[in-house]
Amino acid sequence: MAGGADETSSGRRWRWLKYTAEYGALRALIGLLHLMPLDFASWLMGVVWRSVAPRLKRHERALRHLAMAYPEKSPAEIEAIAREMWMQLGRTFAENLMLKRLYRAGRIDDRTGPVLDSLKGAGKGIVFVSLHIGNWELVITPAAARGIKAAGIYQRIKNPKVDDYVSRARRDRYPRGLYPKGADVARKLMRVAREGGAVAILADLRDRRGISVPFFGHPAPSTSFPALLCRSSEAILVAARTVRTGGVHFMIEAQEIKVPRTADRDADIAEATRRIHALFEQWVREHPEQWMWAHRRWG
């Protein structure tokens, strides 16, 4: 018993040291990035990721996914897209540690005005869906600037020190709450939507408990939760994306997606989910190097 207790105590101590070291490394990196000009810091991190990531297992997964999506492309073309993807993801990682500087620099071309202005006066809830393209952390910015108060959902980071730091840095963009994925988050977000508030969801990742919809010609298990939120309330469904237009410059646009409301609720949810991913595919095809191909997406 004593030996087991010692091992447990030792394990806790080791985790604490590991988490503290990781948090310290993150804060050191943030400090280093803030010593550099914004554009150089973004470019440098992109170069580092593009140099290192192709040696890792996730690169092989990205190549497989790209080959599935673009059977007409040569291996050299697939490799080029994957390497540029890592450059974009490295840039995004650095920029998300310097978001306040990015906002002050005025690098966002906001093209969401006509859509968001009309929604703000509609008196209904809004469900925003987006995807991991460009710098996706910026996509809620136009809504927040217009006083649309949204609730968000995120994947909790295993290291509690890092998770607390990252979530606190995001909270000002989500006045209705930023919730980690969990058993009760659906109920909380449903309440927000039914009360006429806004909910923001990244909806392009695989969901094994979701429904299968076409994505690049292959069935992809996808979350039906955004469609369910809209179909179960009067909320309006809006897709938005951030596109990197060059260096640390971005364009954000939004588009309403009509949600069917027939006598067949399940069919309506499935059709709305299909429409979301049809638009996502269109957007990814326009900028394939800016989407996150290394994540598991298909079954």
Binning pLDDT at 50, 70 and 90, where does residue 170 land?
A: confident
Residues 76-97: what's their mean pLDDT? 98
Q: How confident is the model over 213-250, as pLDDT tens digits?
A: 999 999 999 999 999 999 999 899 999 999 999 999 99
Per-residue confidence at 7, pLDDT binned at 50, 70, 90? low
Cα distances (Å, whole numbers) of residue 94 to 42, 149, 171, 298: 6, 26, 18, 28
- Pairwise CA distance, residues 226 & 231, whole Å: 9
pLDDT of residue 3: 47
Q: What pLDDT was estimated at residue 169?
A: 87
Q: How far lies 100's CA from each of 90, 97, 127, 247, in Å?
A: 18, 9, 25, 17
Cβ-based neighbour number of residue 25 at 10 Å: 11
- pLDDT value at position 6? 52
**Mean pLDDT, range 37-47, rounded to an integer:** 98
Over residues 77-91, mean pLDDT: 98
pLDDT tens figures, 244-257: 999 999 999 999 99
C-alpha span between 173 and 148 (Å, rounded): 10
Decide if 246 contacts 46 (C-beta within 8 A). no
Q: Tell the burial category of 220 from Cβ atoms under 10 Å away from its Cβ (0-12, 13-18, 19+).
A: buried
C-alpha triplet 17, 98, 32: angle, nearest 5°: 55
Average pLDDT score, the chain: 93
* 195 or 91, which is more confident: 91
Structure tokens at 91: 């840039």
* Per-residue model confidence as pLDDT tens digits over 271-292: 999 999 999 999 999 999 999 9
Instruction: Say how far apart CA 222 and CA 203 lie, in whole Å.
Output: 8
Residues in the chain: 299
State the average pLDDT over residues 185-201. 92
Show me where the domains of the chain are located. 2-100, 107-290
Are the beta carbons of 38 and 248 closer than 8 angstroms?
A: yes
User: Which range among 40-44, 54-58, 170-174, 272-276 shows the weakest confidence by mean pLDDT?
Assistant: 170-174
Q: For residue 1, what pLDDT band results from cuts at 50, 70 and 90?
A: very low
Least confident of 35-44, 116-125, 137-146, 160-169: 116-125
Whether pLDDT at 198 is above 90:
yes
